[in-house]
A and B are shown apart, each in its own frame.
Chain A
Amino acid sequence: QQKVQQSPESLIVPEGGMASLNCTSSDRNVDYFWWYRQHSGKSPKMLMSIFSNGEKEEGRFTVHLNKASLHTSLHIRDSQPSDSALYLCASRGSALGRLHFGAGTQLIVIP
């Protein structure tokens, strides 16, 4: 069973709109979450990380974490067509560096 569940599978938002992506881990040992963005045909690029409960903002991107429920969310405000990509959530549950990735949310921003 997949350790990291992401929803929705796909999301269409208008340019300038807000995109909200969700991620939950089933591993009670998880201590780190990362969000990666992967444009079509390219490699994943780390977008944001969060390790503590609460919220973290970087420009148009905000990430939330609730460690009790092992749930993280990524919010993109003022979405741009260049934000169209596969967004991957990753968690780490050990000290060995292994990341578990979700299947991703395919975001499409329509001009």
Chain B
Amino acid sequence: DPKIIQKPKYLVAVTGSEKILICEQYLGHNAMYWYRQSAKKPLEFMFSYSYQKLMDNQTASSRFQPQSSKKNHLDLQITALKPDDSATYFCASSQGNNQAPLFGEGTRLSVL
């Protein structure tokens, strides 16, 4: 059974719309992350949360907003979608900062 659940697996959106990517982890980890991977760029850090608090933010655009309603949830809201946002978005988690993050299976987003 997957320990990090990302929903949906595939997502198609139109330019200008808004989507929420869901992530839940059942590993008891206290740190959660979002990474993005596209054909144009390598795997890229976006956000990190520890105990539901934002610790680090690499994303310049305010169109990307993480949301943590529970300690094992870290969703990603993306507004005003652009074709350049097309990528696979990976949620990850770890127990503390010294442990290698474990990645979910990703949400593949296509913006038309």
Instruction: Tell me the A residues contacting B by CB distance below 8 Å.
Output: 2, 32, 34, 36, 42-46, 49, 88, 90, 92, 94-104
Chain B contact residues, majority secondary structure: strand
Which one of B45, B50, B55, B103 contacts A44 once the chains associate, using CB atoms below 8 Å?
Answer: B103
Measured in the bound complex, the distance between the Cα atoms of B90 and A45 in whole Å is 12
Q: Are A101 and B50 in contact (CB under 8 A)?
A: no
Instruction: Tell me the B residues contacting A by CB distance below 8 Å.
Output: 31, 33, 35, 42-45, 48, 50, 55-56, 58, 90, 94, 97-98, 100-106
Which one of B55, B94, B105 contacts A43 once the chains associate, using CB atoms below 8 Å?
Answer: B105
Offer 5 A-B interface pairs, CB within 8 angstroms, sorted by A: A43-B105, A88-B43, A97-B94, A98-B45, A98-B48
Q: Are A101 and B44 in contact (CB under 8 A)?
A: yes
Q: Are B42 and A97 in contact (CB under 8 A)?
A: no
Q: Are A101 and B43 in contact (CB under 8 A)?
A: yes
User: Other than the known A43-B103, A92-B97, what 7 A-B pairs have Cβ atoms closer than 8 Å?
Assistant: A2-B42, A34-B100, A46-B101, A95-B97, A96-B48, A98-B48, A100-B45
